[in-house]
Amino acid sequence: MGNLQHRVLKQEMLDTLPHDHPDALASRQDIEVINRIMGTFGWFHRQLQEHAPTHGRIVELGAGDGSLIHHIAQKSPALAARWTGLDLAPRPEHLPLGVQWVQGDFLHSEAATKALAEAEVVVTNLILHHFTDEQLRKLAPRLHKARIILASEPARHRRHYLEGQVLNLIGEFNHVTMYDMKLSIEAGFRVGELPRVLMLDRDLWKMEESHSLFGACRMIALRK
């Protein structure tokens, strides 16, 4: 284990598997459980209820299997009806009515660029830590077109290694999940880092950051 003073990125196992590989499917189910334990889905719903305008698109980077979308749809169908998911994986089956999907690399895809240009709200959940600081700085201008950016990423603190081991004892996670969890923590963020790598000017954005008990580094950025 490193000292975790700085981000260290290594390729996670889930990123090397086809989206329909049995281990990938099992790991995504584990990640949904972890999100629920961390309270992430509820956090996003509360922030959207409080801050999101009543119109305009909500764009999620790295929407994966659509777990967050489904949670939001159960609580607030009107929010889900304005959702656009961006991901390398194809559109999941049975997404709620009104959800749009753009498949491709959101760092380079023209369709993703167009979707982000139309976004009122950008949501990122456990995705930004997959990218280097340089890549995030290149992505940043595309995000700045939105009025609100909500991010929940792994917090880079040593104690979360132990929390992951405890969760594994309870949940008996897939081996891919456990391998990737350590790498996610090492590539994660500390309070103060997300605004910096996303080049958010504090004269233009009001920001709130927090570090949750169960390992999330969260940011709310509101355009002034």
148 beta partners: 121, 222
| Mean pLDDT across the chain | 93
Please tell me the distance from the alpha carbon of residue 88 to that of residue 65, in angstroms, as a whole number. Answer: 11
Do the beta carbons of residue 11 and residue 43 sit within 8 Å? no
Sign of CA dihedral 57, 60, 63, 67: negative
- In the chain, what is the straight-line distance between the N-terminal and C-terminal CA atoms, in Å? 40
pLDDT of residue 2: 59
Q: What is the bridge-based pairing of β-strands 148-154 and 216-223?
A: antiparallel
DSSP run (H or E) holding 130: none
Please tell me the distance from the alpha carbon of residue 153 to that of residue 34, in angstroms, as a whole number. Answer: 12
Give burial (CB, 10 Å; 0-12/13-18/19+) of 180. Answer: buried
Instruction: Tell me which of 165 and 152 has the higher pLDDT.
Output: 152
55-72 mean pLDDT: 95
Confidence check: pLDDT of 214 > 90: no
Give the pTM.
0.94
Do the beta carbons of residue 160 and residue 221 sit within 8 Å? no
Confidence check: pLDDT of 1 > 70: no
Confidence check: pLDDT of 156 > 70: yes
Grade residue 147 by pLDDT with cuts at 50, 70 and 90: very high
Structural domains in the chain plus CATH codes: 19-156+176-223 (3.40.50.150)
